[in-house]
Each structure stands twice: as structure tokens, then as C-alpha cells.
Structure 1
């Protein structure tokens, strides 16, 4: 399945998501300078605890964002500080997706979203391309 979404002007992002059925990972594409949504949605049968912790890491196990007891911790790794936001109003629905702003070429990497309380992990591969060509 291939889905292309253009976010509203407020979010200023382009997201291309490819679901790989063999590896159960998502591939997300973005352009340098754009904002990109890295999805992490828990929709399993086992309910989430009322207070949940979620840990976002890059391929080198650097902290991208920690959500502890339903509160995002903004003291992330210097590389991501001020460029990653989450959506606390969506946590109760199991949505722990993050928005990475001002995407850089160096952001091309693998990212993991882990919810230890329910042993859930989502892997996202972000592919960053040069500036979008306007025709």
C-alpha cells in the first residue's frame, strides 16, 4: 500500500508512507527542510495503562523523544531538541506519533517507537531527499 499525504499549511509537511508487509516496518519519505510525521499508533487488543511511557529512539539508540506517564519529555538529544513534537491529546487513543520539523539529510535513519508496558514496537525508516522541485 502506498499513501501520499500533503499536510495543511499549518504543519507544512509532506509524508509518503510505504507499509512493508514482510518486515512490518514503515518507510516514510520527506524532503530537506520539510516537516514529517513519524507514525506510532497502538491499536492492539491489550489495553494501554492509564499512564503510559513511550520511548522514541534513532538507529544509534539516541533519544528522539520520551513520553513518561503521558507527558512528553523535551530534554531529548541535542540533535532533535526543539525539532520533535508529539500530540498528547491523542495518547488516550493510542497515537504516539511525532512530528519532526525542519528535516535534515542527517535525519535519514531508522526510528523505533517502543511501548514497554504492552511490549509494542514500531519501526520507521525515514528517507530524506534533496529539496522538493517546484514545477
Structure 2
């Protein structure tokens, strides 16, 4: 009974977590902020997973080193992090050369602390370029971008529940 109450509390806290919103221009850059709230974590003990719309691998930081092995091709050579900031718990990234397809929700998952941060990226419409193509692509991209990240919240809450369950028993 205690576990299920805990699960509901954690789940509702995660769902109600405020998402930050940043805006950028086509060809420009945006900073996606993320930092650990755990004061005792050492950079070499944490893993950071940046995801776009819940599934696309944007950037991974594994034991204080970035890992590009599984990075989605869409983000190759367009993402920077700030290794000198890892000691301060800052695992923000900068996304360069923005494209229409970059619009959407980015999640930063820090383990083992279970920190979850989300950033909504909005791309300003280009004043140059083909308006017809922009409108066609906008409709297609925005449909995918509206998908909620509810499964991420459920997985994190379930992992926390299992962890607490192990501590209790």
C-alpha cells in the first residue's frame, strides 16, 4: 500500500514538472539547460541522456565523457556540451544550425539521480525560403512534436518504486 501511494506521488510530481521553453531561428543555435539537483554526485558517477520527442538520441554523457556512438544522424556535428561545467552539475547542451525538424520536446535524464528536465524548442518561421514547403513540413513535424513524454515519466516512476521497494524489504 505504501509503495503504491509513493508511486502515485512520484508520478504526479514528474508530470507536473515545469518544462522550460526556448526559441531559435533556422540556422541559429539554442542552449538546452540541464543540471543535476543531487549535490553529492561526482561527474564520473553520472550518465546523462538527451532525447528529442522521447526517442531520438541527441547526446549522451557517460561517466563525464560524451558518447556519440548511438547519436541520431540528424544531430551529428551540431551538438556541443560544456565538459568544464560537469563538476558544477551543469550538463546543458547547445544545438547549432537549427532546422525545422529540431522543434519539439527535449528531455535530459540524469542517472542515477533520476533527475528529469524537459525543454520545449520552438523554431521561428524563416522569412526567406519557400512558404509552401514550410507549411507542408510544419504540419508533419508538429504532429510528431505534440506526442507527450508520458512513457518517460512512467518508466522513471517505476524505477524509483522498485528502488524504494528494495530499500524497504
- TM-score with structure 1 setting the length: 0.76
- Select which of 76, 95, 99 maps to 1:81: 76
Match of 1:93 in 2: 88
Deviation of 1:130 after TM superposition, in Å, equals: 2.0
Please give the alpha-carbon distance, in whole angstroms, between the structure 2 residues aligned to 1:50 and 1:86.
Answer: 14
Consecutive unaligned residues in structure 1, runs of 5 or more? 1-21
Please give the alpha-carbon distance, in whole angstroms, between the structure 2 residues aligned to 1:26 and 1:41.
Answer: 13
Q: Which aligned runs of 4 or more in structure 1 are off by greater than 3 angstroms? A: none
Higher fraction of helix: 2
Q: Is the 8 A contact 1:65 1:74 kept in 2?
A: yes
Deviation of 1:23 after TM superposition, in Å, equals: 4.4
Deviation of 1:68 after TM superposition, in Å, equals: 0.5
Aligned ranges 1:111-126 → 2 under 5 Å:
111-126=106-121
Please give the alpha-carbon distance, in whole angstroms, between the structure 2 residues aligned to 1:93 and 1:46.
Answer: 9
Deviation of 1:69 after TM superposition, in Å, equals: 0.5
Match of 1:10 in 2: none
Deviation of 1:70 after TM superposition, in Å, equals: 0.3
Decide whether aligned partners of structure 1 residues 110 and 116 sit closer, same or farther in structure 2, where only a CA change above 3 A counts. same
Please give the alpha-carbon distance, in whole angstroms, between the structure 2 residues aligned to 1:130 and 1:123.
Answer: 22
Does 1:48 pair with 2:41? yes
- TM-score with structure 2 setting the length: 0.61
Please give the alpha-carbon distance, in whole angstroms, between the structure 2 residues aligned to 1:102 and 1:96.
Answer: 20
Match of 2:138 in 1: none
CA RMSD, 1 decimal: 1.8
Q: Is the 8 A contact 2:47 2:110 kept in 1?
A: yes
Greater C-alpha radius of gyration? 2
Corresponding pairs, count: 111
